[in-house]
Structure 1
Amino acid sequence: MSSAATRPAGPDDLWSVDEHLDDILATVRPLEPIELQLLDAQGCVLVENVTVPVSLPPFDNSSMDGYAVRVADVAGASEEFPAALEVVGDVAAGAADPVRVGPGQAARIMTGAPLPPGAEAVVPVEWTDGGLGEGPASGMRARSLAPEGAEGQVHVYRPAEARAHVRAEGSDVRAGELALKAGTVLGAPQIALLAAIGRGTVRVHPRPRVVVLSTGSELVQPGEELAPGQIHDSNSFALTAAARDAGAIAYRVGAVADDAETLRTTIEDQLIRADLLVTTGGVSVGAYDVVKEALSSVGDEDEPGGGVEFRRLAMQPGKPQGFGTIGPDHTPLLALPGNPVSSYVSFELFVRPAIRALMGLTELHRPRARAVLKADAALRSPRGRRQFLRGRYADGEVTPVGGAGSHLIAALAKADALIVVPEDTESVEPGGEVEVVLLG
């Protein structure tokens, strides 16, 4: 059983939102670090500091296509009195042994090519005649008319300061400096930096594998015809998408009928690919709430700490909840209610933080803000329950969207925030201040 299983829990006992969340986070631990190839590590959390083995860039190089020159040779150059320099060769990107530039000389150089010995600056090709002897050339024209390897003279029409258009060795990061610190989430820029400093693999907490399944004999796959009494399964799609948004690798399992043995078998089959299991539906007190029946025996009763506990929370929507660990690896399982809004609100409050804890993140929760209630009438909330209403937030104000019904999916799709009404508050008047959870 989970860490808070020793808490007294009678049939009429209510857990607070915070107690339930604390129990989940006390049980869930970051996944064991593994070494991954860079692209496989995208979205993962770094578990070690990464230092720079070689300065970046590793050598002085040109930031322009042009000519590598000595500053004294182009001092005072103008269109009327250009500096005429001998072209001694080409320096291409990747050149290992570039030519030396002496007095009165220049080397044709490409962007990213190493600054050749003797050169002190780069003049862009647009400041020259491109070696054509016909006045200042556009970069395109110069490159198309001056073949590589062609030697002769180039006329330079502007002076250049020392180090002009030169990327200095170590100007990005120097050898020995900290490139990325432990706890960094690896996005595209971070992966680019790791590749640039020569790291082919990196040690990270892997993204958790989350398996989502919904229960209910009334559920039909989207795209299929509905028979009387049936509805399309939306919860499993919503929760799978939400798990991916939170950073997980999420798998959706088709809806499982209201049969305890079928559900038990499905859950046991999914354990092999799950770091976290999420079910939706079948957790209240109805006659067909088979999740409780199925999970009562799927946990390893012979192993200490196994099993799922079903609770009633002092919240609306989302009062019925289940949490525990199952299987030989004590895989965490969160059982959410089946009403669409209840299911989604429960995910945001409990499952998302659990996913981010598995990832090794320290920022587990959505950001929150204070907002002025913009509404035509007061918000009503049952005393003793923490209510979460859908709303739209902008410029410090929040407007309710839809009603309090836990089936209102269309209203949920229009919301970008949850309005929080505390347990001890029964009414919030228009213009009053409320806390909001920002979903966007």
Structure 2
Amino acid sequence: MLSRTLEEHRAAVTNALAPIPPLTVLVGDAAGATLVEPLVAAAPLPAHDVAAWDGYAVRAGDVGADALPVAHDVSFADRGPRTHLPGTAARVASGMPVPTGADAVVPLVATDRGVARVAFHAPVRAGAGVRRAGTDAAAGRMVVPAGRRLGGRELALAASLGHPRLTVRPVPRVVVLATGSELVDPGSGRAGVPEATGHLIAVAARNAGAHAYRVGPVPDDRPTLRTAIEDQLVRADLLIVTGGLSDGGQDTVAQVLQDLGDVDDVRLALEPGPHHAFAMLGEEGARRVPTIALPGAPAAAALAFEAYVRPALRRMCGFTEVVRPGVRGRLDRGWPSPPGITQAVPVRLGLDPSGTVTASPACEPGDVTLAALGDADGIAWVDAATTEVRAGDVLRCTVWDD
């Protein structure tokens, strides 16, 4: 078994989880993927001054006590703004180009809705009812940076700029497989331990930007586990196995992974949950699937995911920002920390009267519970070189933001 520091294991996993090669896809198929190249407005958006509402395009100075003749209806069939005739009005719908020379659009509710001539109920100021060219984006402006996950707002911008396709990194498919002969699905009616870790890690992978699929629970039986893993390799870009890593003879994950590929069986200098594994499954020269084995205990798996899986997965997705936001938190109490071990401690975060960020452990450090994870706002990280944490010490804290 290999011994690794957290930094060494994080680097090994991150280097193996290469970003998925880019694809050019239709805008409608790009949701959730990350943009490869920045999206820049080649022309102003909108390209011309447009009406902010349905009404009549006019010169503000022409609106007075007398009705104005209606010269024409503005049509989307026009290639560009028509020239406005002074002393007239032009009927225009919301979003249509304002005729050149008109400087306001009067809403229908402020008129008598005339067809040949139109009367106005009140004076109008220049600029009212007009959205100027470039209001949404000036020409040359970067509207979406590379590495951004594409949601509805980003896709709407791309479509508005006339892009039918975008070059993206596809969303990785992560399969989370829970193993353990003692595990049962909640509500199954069978005696056993309700399987929770697979649900937790699948949601964490989804929040990190991947498509996640939970499988299991799968018994520790070696042939059954091997078959279950092989079945998932065809659809997985990343496989995460939870459980089956204790030193008991019935825990078979490391052995099954060795049957299927190259495995690093790791004693990780991380508390809680020191036993981990990382494998590349598949034949040399063929498609190989990176596989991470995490502890079966939900709290240990969650903290390990935050420690090294999430940043590696974010890189695989193509994000430029792979680390959660963090703060420096001042501890309200101390505790002994094991030498040579990075310790992950769930903490509640707050502010004292001076505005200093405070951090209070949500449980006894080293004895992390699932309930403590639910109570915590983030994780305090104790460096491996630290053997004694004291009240008033300031630690780096990851802030949960999902």
Displacement after TM superposition at 1:397 (Å):
1.0
Displacement after TM superposition at 1:297 (Å):
0.8
Choose from 55, 73, 94 the match for 1:66.
55
Q: Is residue 2:342 matched to residue 1:383? A: no
Choose from 18, 25, 42 the match for 1:29.
18
Match of 1:259 in 2: 221
Match of 1:270 in 2: 232
Q: Please list, as runs of the form range in 1=range in 2, the aligned pairs for 1:28-427 lying within 5 A after superposition.
A: 28-74=17-63, 77=64, 82-91=65-74, 94=76, 96=78, 101-125=84-108, 128=110, 130-131=111-112, 146=113, 150-155=115-120, 157-161=122-126, 163-174=127-138, 177-227=141-191, 230-299=192-261, 307-327=262-282, 328-375=286-333, 378-395=334-351, 396-404=357-365, 408-427=369-388
Q: From the superposition, tell whether residues 399 and 178 of structure 1 become closer, same or farther in structure 2 (CA, over 3 Å).
A: closer
Q: Which amino acid aligns with 2:28?
A: L
Displacement after TM superposition at 1:324 (Å):
2.3
Q: Is residue 2:396 matched to residue 1:435? A: yes
Q: 2: distance between equivalents of 1:406 and 1:234? A: 18
Identity of aligned residues (%): 40
2:198 aligned counterpart, secondary structure: helix
Displacement after TM superposition at 1:177 (Å):
5.0
2:14 aligned counterpart, secondary structure: helix
Quick check: 23-32 or 405-414, which moved more? 405-414
Q: How many residues of Structure 1 are paired with residues of Structure 2 in the alignment?
A: 392
Quick check: 30-39 or 253-262, which moved more? 30-39
Kept after mapping to 1: 8 A contact 2:345/2:366: no
Q: From the superposition, tell whether residues 37 and 102 of structure 1 become closer, same or farther in structure 2 (CA, over 3 Å).
A: closer
Kept after mapping to 2: 8 A contact 1:95/1:114: no
Q: 5+ residue gaps in structure 1?
A: 1-10, 132-145, 300-306
Q: Tell me the alpha carbon deviations over residues 62-119 of structure 1, each in whole angstroms, 9 at most, x when there is no partner.
A: 1133321124423xx4xxxx34322334436x35388864333222333222213542
Q: Tell me the alpha carbon deviations over residues 284-312 of structure 1, each in whole angstroms, 9 at most, x when there is no partner.
A: 3222120011111111xxxxxxx111010
Q: 2: distance between equivalents of 1:104 and 1:340? A: 75
Q: 2: distance between equivalents of 1:362 and 1:102? A: 52
Match of 1:302 in 2: none
1:14 aligned counterpart, secondary structure: strand
2:293 aligned counterpart, secondary structure: strand
Q: 2: distance between equivalents of 1:389 and 1:153? A: 72
Q: 1: distance between equivalents of 2:99 and 2:15? A: 60
Q: From the superposition, tell whether residues 118 and 22 of structure 1 become closer, same or farther in structure 2 (CA, over 3 Å).
A: closer
Q: 5+ residue gaps in structure 2?
A: 352-356
Displacement after TM superposition at 1:280 (Å):
0.9
Kept after mapping to 2: 8 A contact 1:73/1:83: no
Displacement after TM superposition at 1:58 (Å):
2.5
Kept after mapping to 2: 8 A contact 1:87/1:154: no
Match of 1:20 in 2: 9
Quick check: 337-346 or 110-119, which moved more? 110-119
Q: Which amino acid aligns with 1:122?
A: V
Q: Which amino acid aligns with 2:337?
A: S
Displacement after TM superposition at 1:45 (Å):
1.4
Q: From the superposition, tell whether residues 423 and 170 of structure 1 become closer, same or farther in structure 2 (CA, over 3 Å).
A: closer
Displacement after TM superposition at 1:333 (Å):
0.8
Q: 2: distance between equivalents of 1:177 and 1:428? A: 49
Question: Cα RMSD between the aligned structures?
Answer: 2.3
Q: Tell me the alpha carbon deviations over residues 183-215 of structure 1, each in whole angstroms, 9 at most, x when there is no partner.
A: 232222211100111212211111111010111
* Structure with greater Cα Rg: 1
Q: 2: distance between equivalents of 1:422 and 1:219? A: 34
Q: Which amino acid aligns with 2:228?
A: T
Q: Which amino acid aligns with 1:236?
A: G
Match of 2:354 in 1: none
Q: 2: distance between equivalents of 1:411 and 1:179? A: 41
1:191 aligned counterpart, secondary structure: helix
Q: Which amino acid aligns with 2:169?
A: H
Kept after mapping to 2: 8 A contact 1:99/1:107: no
Displacement after TM superposition at 1:417 (Å):
0.8
Displacement after TM superposition at 1:390 (Å):
1.2
Displacement after TM superposition at 1:399 (Å):
1.5
2:45 aligned counterpart, secondary structure: coil
Q: 1: distance between equivalents of 2:391 and 2:243? A: 35
Displacement after TM superposition at 1:47 (Å):
1.2
Kept after mapping to 1: 8 A contact 2:179/2:243: yes
